[in-house]
Amino acid sequence: MIERIQSQLRATARNQYTAVHLPPFSCFINGDEPAPWASYAIPDRPVGGDVGSALEKMVDWYSTNERMPRLEFVEAFAPDLARILESVGFVQEARTQLMVARPESLIAANSVRALTIVELGRYPALSLVQQAISVLERGFGGPDDLYVTSSRARAFWTRFGSSRFFLACMEGQAVSVGSLTPPWNGVSEIAGIATLEKYRRRGIASALTAHISAAGFGQGQELLFLTAGDARSGRVYEQVGYKSIGHGLAYYLPTPE
């Protein structure tokens, strides 16, 4: 299961970003977004032993491309990698809760009054894409007065439109968003579940997760996974049948002062 999840993460990144293979890492860059979190490397195999020269090549490649060297990976896939990274100066950015569900484990969410969920579809109205980006970024801490230009929405959809996006609305207001990445070997990730702060703790995230999960399983996926930032977030997903199987890790190399 862990290997299938790690393979799906690499496949999704290859589909969305510029990629270079620097064994034992696949390195990805988002050319539209210079923020540190938008580019990262993923190990191709369990990494151990002396990989100093490989790490140097990876660091040089990101530095040449004016990006911070970062890695994202499933802890159980490469259990020695965190220690190796820390020994050469990398810093842990995040340790998220990795959770999975199968069709038989999915639990229907409690009904949320006045909540409607729509899928954007392959060729959505540009205004819907703008709303989805706004909710996504505001839900993860962006300003409430965030404005998404039409050109940015087009660029976003060109890069990420192969995923299935779902928008949850209440009384005409977009309040929550989430996506389902394209399947790889029967596995997909539910990504970017974000809810506007004013609408949290109403069961919206659980309802949206259950809806997206049902769509994924209805499409034939055998396994869905997601990551929760902390235990409280994890309980939201437990309510609809997800269970924790480990952790996802993110590491970055600080810029020398």
Tokens of 240: 């609809």
For 163-204, what is each residue's pLDDT tens digit? 999 999 998 899 999 999 999 999 999 999 999 999 999 999
Write down the pLDDT at residue 210.
98
Write down the pLDDT at residue 171.
86
- 257: pLDDT strictly greater than 70: no
Distance of CA 154 to the CA centre of its chain: 20
Rounded Cα distance, 201 and 36, in Å: 30
| Closest of 250, 224, 248 to residue 76, by C-alpha | 248
Tokens of 167: 């928008």
Write down the pLDDT at residue 36.
85
Percentage of the chain modeled with pLDDT above 90? 91
Write down the pLDDT at residue 165.
98
Look up residue 108 and give its DSSP letter.
P
Locus of tokens 């620097």: 22
Write down the pLDDT at residue 172.
87
* Upstream peptide bond of 23 is cis (omega within 30 degrees of 0): no
For 149-166, what is each residue's pLDDT tens digit? 999 999 999 999 999 999
Percentage of the chain modeled with pLDDT above 70? 100
Strand partners, 224: 101, 188
DSSP 166-230: EEEEETTEEEEEEEEPPPBTTEEEEEEEEE-GGG-SSSHHHHHHHHHHHHHHHTT-SEEEEEESS
For 11-34, what is each residue's pLDDT tens digit? 999 999 999 999 999 999 998 888
Q: What is the mean pLDDT of residues 209-214?
A: 98
For 57-81, what is each residue's pLDDT tens digit? 999 999 999 999 999 999 999 999 9
| Residue 50 banded pLDDT, cuts 50, 70, 90 | confident
pTM for the whole thing?
A: 0.94
Q: Which amino acid would we find at residue 113?
A: R
Q: What is the mean pLDDT of residues 50-54?
A: 91
Phi, psi at residue 96, to the nearest 5°? -100, 160
Rounded Cα distance, 227 and 191, in Å: 8
Helix (H) or strand (E) holding 236: helix 231-238
Q: Tell me if 2-96 shares its fold with 103-246.
A: yes
Tokens of 34: 């210079």
Look up residue 162 and give its DSSP letter.
T
Rounded Cα distance, 130 and 1, in Å: 35
Neighbours of 101 (CB within 10 A): 25
Grouping H, G, I as helix, E, B as strand and the rest as coil, residue 246 is strand
Rounded Cα distance, 70 and 84, in Å: 14
Rounded Cα distance, 133 and 36, in Å: 18
Overall fold of domain 2-96: Aminopeptidase (3.40.630)
Rounded Cα distance, 99 and 237, in Å: 8
Write down the pLDDT at residue 33.
85
For the chain, domain boundaries = 2-96, 103-246
CATH fourth-level superfamily of 103-246: Gcn5-related N-acetyltransferase (GNAT) (3.40.630.30)
Q: Is 142 exposed, middle or buried, given 0-12, 13-18 or 19+ CB atoms closer than 10 A?
A: middle
Write down the pLDDT at residue 234.
94
Write down the pLDDT at residue 183.
95
Q: For the chain, what is the mean pLDDT?
A: 95
